[in-house]
Amino acid sequence: MRRVEAGIEIVGVSSVLSLPGGRLEAVLGAEADVDAALAGGDADAILAAQRRVVQRELRYMAADRRTSAVASVADDGAALLLRTL
List, for residues 47-74, the tens digit of each pLDDT value. Answer: 999 999 888 765 555 556 676 788 888 9
pTM of the complete model beyond 0.95: no
- The whole-angstrom separation of Cα 34 and Cα 17 is 27
At 61, the amino acid letter reads: M
Residue 23 phi/psi, 5° resolution?
-120, 150
Q: Give pLDDT, residue 56.
A: 78
| Contact between 71 and 27 (Cβ < 8 Å) | no
- The whole-angstrom separation of Cα 61 and Cα 23 is 21
